């Protein structure tokens, strides 16, 4: 009876095949159970996630895959028709591809979940990006395995792959900027040049990271508005991340007047060192007499804040500034203010002989005293050397009291017209044209100009102005005009 033939195989071979099927399938089930228990015991004693992943991958091994593999293995004992054998082989390969897809999807899901658990509190905005990237990777995995399955079934996928390739290229060219931003988003999440909550500066824009998306990153600026950068542009820029700053280097300067005694000039670096070094969480670096400015003896001070907190830095700098003010007032040291002084010196001509025939010399001489014209802001402290202080604006400087300004004469008629002043608006690019137009107006005001010239010839004169810019203002233009008049 064992030699009875059924479908080209004896009953004995069929029995062996059945035994192989049962043993293989049962063995797989037993091995799966034992592996799960072994990995679970190992996972309890470790903190790593890899053993947990191993447990879940073994658990995700499907019964259909084990049964199909057992059937195919047992079929190898039999002498089956080539068509039947090919079908069983294709089914086994399909089951393997399906199982690989299940394992791959679970690995991606496991990674996404682990990342979510790690980043939920510190970088929650990046979670959506990671989850979306995981979904895209799963779609690509299933697409690849589906193509392999079709190829295993005998479908010619060459044309399909070529079509997908051409379509992919066309789509990639059409949405290359979007793809660039998507890859940049993945780079931001993985490389972490910044995270949500970090304070960064990008090309002059500053603010805190509020959200990192697939295409754009949103930054809340210090003034409140929302700045939106594409991810690719952001990574191509120079980013300054202040969250990872461990110390803050501070550099500030100050200037004192040129009439400060040399002893105090020399002792000032030591005074500044004592002031700065006495503050908490400060590491003093240096204080030097830096150089000679246009209107001040300039000092530069450098120190390090050992805590990068910005509010603490501002509190410390405020305390330093207040103590410097106190010490300067006690020592009689004055801060320098931006001023311009125009010194016009009328040089006496040399004697020139004009009559040679009578062997005598006739000389023309002109000995006029030197004149002094300087400009100064109305908010600056009046000084004895100012001489006659003339306000040359058509309006009183805002925020300045009359008793503090010490104005001797207010010449409203010498000021530029309202139309010219509004056109100028203290724009640097209009400065040259403003001087020309203002000179034309002054040429039409001979009485006002002569009044100023009389004061200039009588002694030192300070042209007082209310503008913030010490170099581009009405007084500077008027001083230049008067100097040209005096040369004539």
Q: The pTM is what?
A: 0.42
**Is 165 found in the same domain as 259?**
no
Stated length of the chain: 488
| Helix 11-44 / helix 50-59 crossing angle, nearest 10 deg | 150
* Edge-to-edge strand list for the sheet holding 339-344: 339-344, 371-377, 461-465, 388-391, 409-410
Collapsing DSSP to helix, strand or coil, 35 comes out as: helix
**Is 170 found in the same domain as 23?**
yes
Burial class (CB within 10 angstroms; exposed 0-12, middle 13-18, buried 19+) of 384: exposed
Domain boundary at 241, 262, 292, which?
241
| pLDDT in single tens digits along all 488 residues of the chain | 656 667 677 777 778 888 888 888 888 888 888 888 887 777 776 777 667 777 788 888 888 888 888 888 888 777 777 778 788 888 888 888 888 888 888 887 777 777 666 665 555 555 566 666 677 777 777 788 787 777 777 777 777 677 767 776 766 666 667 777 777 777 777 777 888 888 888 887 889 988 888 788 899 988 888 988 888 888 888 888 888 788 899 999 999 998 899 999 999 999 999 999 999 999 999 999 999 988 899 999 999 999 988 889 999 999 999 999 999 999 999 998 776 655 555 554 444 444 444 333 333 333 444 678 889 888 888 888 888 999 999 888 888 888 888 898 888 888 999 888 888 888 888 899 999 999 999 999 888 888 888 888 888 899 999 888 888 899 999 988 998 888 76
Residue 118, CB-side half-sphere exposure with 13 Å CA sphere: 9
Asked if residue 337 belongs to a domain, the reply is no
Asked if residue 315 belongs to a domain, the reply is yes
Asked if residue 295 belongs to a domain, the reply is yes
**Is 354 found in the same domain as 400?**
yes
Asked if residue 465 belongs to a domain, the reply is yes
Asked if residue 336 belongs to a domain, the reply is no
Structure tokens at 235: 């990574």
DSSP string for 47-97? --SHHHHHHHHHHT--HHHHHHHHHHHHHTTS---HHHHHHHHHHHHHHHH
Separation in Å, CA 450 to CA 198, 225, 420, 442: 63, 54, 22, 10
Asked if residue 193 belongs to a domain, the reply is yes
Give the model's pLDDT for residue 132: 65
CATH code at position 265 = 3.30.70.100
**Is 28 found in the same domain as 159?**
yes
Residue 473, CB-side half-sphere exposure with 13 Å CA sphere: 24
Domain boundary at 225, 241, 257, which?
241
Measured between alpha carbons, how far is 226 from 468 in angstroms, rounded to an integer? 31
List the end-to-end C-alpha distance of the chain, in Å, as a whole number. 140
**Among 438, 434, 412, residue whose Cα is nearest residue 424:** 434
**Is 420 found in the same domain as 405?**
yes
Q: Which domain holds residue 142?
A: 5-174
Measured between alpha carbons, how far is 119 from 421 in angstroms, rounded to an integer? 59
**Is 253 found in the same domain as 231?**
no
Asked if residue 423 belongs to a domain, the reply is yes
**Is 307 found in the same domain as 261?**
yes
**Is 60 found in the same domain as 10?**
yes
Domain boundary at 174, 193, 209, which?
174
**Is 282 found in the same domain as 137?**
no
Phi and psi based region of residue 247 (left: phi greater than 0; alpha: psi -120 to 50; beta: remaining): beta
**Is 19 found in the same domain as 138?**
yes
**Is 463 found in the same domain as 368?**
yes
Give the model's pLDDT for residue 115: 66
CATH code at position 202 = 2.30.30.60
**Is 169 found in the same domain as 215?**
no
Domain count within the chain:
4
């Amino acid at each position: 009876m064992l030699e009875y033939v059924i479908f080209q195989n004896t009953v004995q071979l069929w029995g062996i095949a059945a035994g192989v099927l049962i043993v293989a399938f049962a063995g797989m089930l037993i091995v799966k159970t034992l592996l799960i228990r072994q990995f679970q015991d190992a996972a309890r004693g470790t903190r790593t996630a890899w053993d947990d992943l191993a447990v879940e991958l073994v658990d995700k091994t499907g019964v259909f895959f084990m049964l199909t593999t057992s059937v195919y293995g047992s079929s190898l004992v039999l002498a089956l028709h080539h068509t039947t054998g090919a079908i069983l082989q294709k089914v086994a390969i399909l089951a393997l591809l399906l199982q690989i897809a299940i394992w791959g999807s679970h690995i991606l899901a496991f990674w996404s979940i682990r990342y979510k658990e790690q980043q939920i509190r510190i970088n929650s905005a990046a979670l959506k990006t990671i989850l979306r990237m995981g979904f895209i990777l799963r779609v690509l995995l299933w697409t690849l395995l589906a193509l392999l399955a079709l190829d295993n079934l005998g479908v010619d996928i060459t044309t399909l792959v070529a079509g997908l390739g051409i379509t992919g290229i066309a789509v990639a060219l059409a949405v290359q900027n979007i793809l660039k931003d998507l890859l940049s988003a993945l780079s931001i999440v993985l490389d972490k040049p910044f995270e949500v909550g970090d304070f960064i500066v990008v090309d002059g824009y500053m603010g805190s990271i509020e959200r990192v998306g697939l295409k754009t990153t949103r930054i809340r600026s210090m003034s409140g508005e929302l700045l939106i950068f594409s991810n690719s542009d952001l990574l191509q820029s120079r980013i300054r991340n202040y969250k990872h700053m461990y110390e803050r280097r501070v550099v500030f300067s100050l200037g004192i007047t040129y009439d400060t005694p040399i002893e105090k000039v020399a002792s000032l670096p030591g005074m500044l060192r004592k002031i700065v070094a006495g503050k908490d969480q400060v590491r003093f670096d240096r204080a030097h007499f830096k150089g000679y400015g246009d209107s001040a003896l300039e000092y530069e001070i450098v120190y390090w804040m050992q805590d990068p907190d910005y509010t603490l830095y501002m509190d410390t700098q405020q305390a330093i500034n207040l103590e410097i003010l106190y010490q300067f007032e006690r020592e009689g040291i004055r801060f320098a203010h931006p001023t311009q002084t125009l010194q016009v010196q009328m040089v006496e001509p040399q004697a020139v002989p004009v009559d040679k025939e009578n062997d005598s010399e006739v000389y023309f001489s002109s000995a006029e005293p030197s004149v002094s014209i300087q400009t100064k802001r109305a908010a600056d402290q009046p000084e004895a050397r100012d001489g006659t202080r003339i306000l040359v604006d058509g309006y009183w400087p805002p925020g300045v009291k009359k008793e503090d300004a010490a104005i001797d004469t207010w010449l409203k008629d010498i000021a530029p017209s309202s139309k010219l002043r509004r056109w100028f608006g203290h724009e640097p690019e209009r400065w040259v044209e403003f001087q020309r137009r203002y000179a034309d107006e002054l040429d039409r005001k001979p009485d006002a100009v002569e009044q100023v010239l009389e004061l200039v010839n009588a002694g030192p004169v300070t042209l007082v102005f209310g503008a913030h810019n010490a170099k581009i203002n009405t007084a500077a233009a008027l001083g230049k005009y008067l100097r040209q008049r005096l040369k004539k």
